[in-house]
Amino acid sequence: MPDASGIELKRGLSGVYLDRTESCFIDGEVGKLLYRGYNIHDLAEKSSFEEVVHLLLKETLPNSDELNTFDRELRHDRTIPAPVLEIISQVKDAHPMDVLRTAISALAAFDPDVRDNSIEATIRKGLRLTAKAPTIVAAHDRIRKGLEPVEPNPNLTHAGNFLYMLFGKEPTEEETKLMDVDFILHAEHGANASAFTARVVASTNSDLHSAVVAGVGALKGPAHGGAAEEVMTMSEEIGSPENADEYARNLLDNGGRVMGFGHRVYKAEDPRAGHLRDRSQKLGDAKGQPQWFEILSHLQEAMKPYQAKGIHVNVDFFAGSIYYLLDIPDDTFISIFALGRIPGWTLNVVEQYSRNMLIRPLMEYTGPMDLEYVPLSERG
Ligand code: ACO
């Protein structure tokens, strides 16, 4: 409703359509998500992250030959320049997302297309960033632990190679599939806060690296990508399943939020969450740590009354337990979200460029007017 001055505020831009898109459809009322028309359920269960990146950035699901060529290029682009590794060493004590943000920014200096904002060059840069970002995250984790970074292994898939570089040993097929599904689920999600941030940067005709750096910054917050880590922190505080109900009641009675629940767009269950639910349970059983899934299940039970308000689990709720069980450090959970989302940020920048208009909303001014300027020497 317009206020007394005839202005209708849309705080948080909630419910505002910014533009049209051909890449991501979300129906928040029924919990439906499509990437370029394909249902996330099919993509998560039947495709690979490499296929999904091709779908998002090259606009089609590839045939075998196309996928082989595309995948070869991604594998080839995994290494990062030695000066970027050196920068990572210099800032190794910072949060992994700060290190990722810094290293992506530094990569711009070594990208041959850095000044070219054409659609073709932007896609090339986005694919190089997609390929190199896992190397940054893995190298940082090893350097801060006093270990040598592991060279990318061109014989492994994108997901498998990431785990290999992180732990220095080849992951099992199950572990690779878990990581692959997780990357697919996080690859794109419309005008979410970080993609919108990337679009704002692109709308000034700035470049992809700047947009992705800004996207990493927006993703870092606990209301967006930080929730998976907070869910795990919460689970560790709860400690054992029988404490979960009381913990949730205390938190909610005191106006707190159960992390991993709620979403600006989904008023039904986030369709990505189910793909991680069963996998979290199976992995917990396989690792002899079923308690994490049980704690999460109790929390879900405690949150049942909130379903009437449209608050359901989101993608982050089960993701944290999977990363934890894969031995990924808690502070690196958000970085994994970022690794999956780089194709999505690139896609949003490409769409923004393809019919660009500067994004520049208004603010309703409510401060004082026409105050008399008092010179510094006369102020008390
Ligand atoms: N637990 C308890 N109550 C909640 C939760 C939650 N997780 N989320 C929302 N609510 C309640 C709010 O308290 C509010 O209640 P009120 O109307 O009685 O005041 C109502 O639901 C609406 O909340 P808003 O914050 O206005 O809703 P918005 O759409 O802006 O919030 C958000 C979405 C930020 C994700 C919110 O649900 C939240 O903070 N969730 C926890 C953090 C989280 O899991 N983030 C990950 C999001 S998914 C992603 O980025 C991949």
Q: How many angstroms separate the CA atoms of 205 and 99, rounded?
A: 25
Of 76, 109, 106, nearest to 88 by C-alpha is: 106
Q: What is the pLDDT of residues 62-104, one digit of tens each?
A: 999 999 999 999 999 999 999 999 999 999 999 999 999 999 9
> Cα separations (Å) of 320 from 65, 199, 336?
35, 28, 10
Find the 248 Cα to ligand 1 centroid distance in Å.
Answer: 15
Element (H, E) at 25: strand 24-27
The catalytic residue among 54, 186, 189, 263 is 263
* Nearest CA, atom 9, ligand 1: 262
Query: pLDDT category, 314, cuts 50, 70, 90?
Result: very high
For 334, the token pair is: 């958000």
Q: What is the pLDDT of residues 174-183, one digit of tens each?
A: 999 999 999 9
Of 365, 21, 78, 352, nearest to 214 by C-alpha is: 352
Atom in ligand 1 nearest the alpha carbon of residue 264:
29
Indicate where the chain has its CATH 1.10.230.10 domain(s): 227-325
Does 263 participate in catalysis according to the annotation? Answer: yes
At 127 the pLDDT is: 98
Ligand 1 neighbourhood includes 273 CB (under 6 angstroms)? no
At 151 the pLDDT is: 98
Give the distance between the most distant pair of CA atoms in the chain. Answer: 77
Indicate where the chain has its CATH 1.10.580.10 domain(s): 63-184+191-222+334-354
Rg, the chain, Cα only: 22
Query: pLDDT category, 250, cuts 50, 70, 90?
Result: very high
User: What's the CATH superfamily of 63-184+191-222+334-354?
Assistant: Citrate Synthase, domain 1 (1.10.580.10)
Pocket test for ligand 1, best of 232, 263, 299, 312 (most atoms within 8 A of CB): 263
What is the assigned CATH class of domain 227-325? mainly alpha
At 222 the pLDDT is: 85
Find the 231 Cα to ligand 1 centroid distance in Å.
Answer: 14
* DSSP for 30-65, written as a single string: TTEEEETTEEHHHHHHH--HHHHHHHHHHSS---HH
Pocket test for ligand 1, best of 257, 259, 267, 312 (most atoms within 8 A of CB): 257
At 1 the pLDDT is: 78
Helix (H/G/I), strand (E/B), else coil: 201: helix
Q: How many CB atoms lie within 10 A of CB 29?
A: 11
Whether residue 335 is predicted with pLDDT greater than 90 in this model: the reply is yes
Assessment of whether the complete model's pTM goes beyond 0.85:
yes
* Nearest CA, atom 24, ligand 1: 264
Q: For the chain, what percent of residues have pLDDT higher than 90?
A: 92
Residue 127 and residue 53 in contact, taking contact as beta carbons nearer than 8 Å: yes
Atom in ligand 1 nearest the alpha carbon of residue 260:
44
Does 65 participate in catalysis according to the annotation? Answer: no
